[in-house]
Structure 1
Amino acid sequence: MSDHPVAPVAPHEPPYYAVVFTSVRTDGDNGYGETADRMEELVQEIPGFLGMDIARTPGGLGVTVGYFRDEDAIKEWRAVLDHRAAQSRGRAEWYERYAVHVAKVERSYAFERGHAVDEGVE
Structure 2
Amino acid sequence: MTQKLVAGLEPPYYTALFTSIRPDAPEGYAETASRMQEIVKEIPGFLGYEAARTPGGIGITVAYFRDLESLDAWRLDTEHQAAKTYGREHWYDSYSVHIGKVERSYSFERE
Q: TM-score when scaled to structure 1?
A: 0.86
- Amino acid of the structure 2 residue aligned with 1:7: K
Residue 45 of structure 1, aligned match among 42, 47, 70: 42
User: Structure 1: how far apart are the matches of 2:52 and 2:27?
Assistant: 20
User: In the alignment, what sits opposite 1:120?
Assistant: none
2:59 is aligned to 62
Structure 1: runs of 5 or more not aligned: 115-122
Please state how far the C-alpha of 1:26 moved relative to its aligned partner.
Answer: 3.5
- Greater per-residue strand proportion: 1
**Rg: which structure is higher?**
1
Q: Show structure 2 runs of 5+ residues with no match.
A: none
Q: How many positions carry a matched residue from both structures?
A: 111
CA contact (8 A) 1:26 1:93 kept: no
Q: CA RMSD in A?
A: 1.3
Identity of matched residues, %: 56
C-alpha spacing 1:28/1:52, structure 2 compared with 1 (3 Å): closer
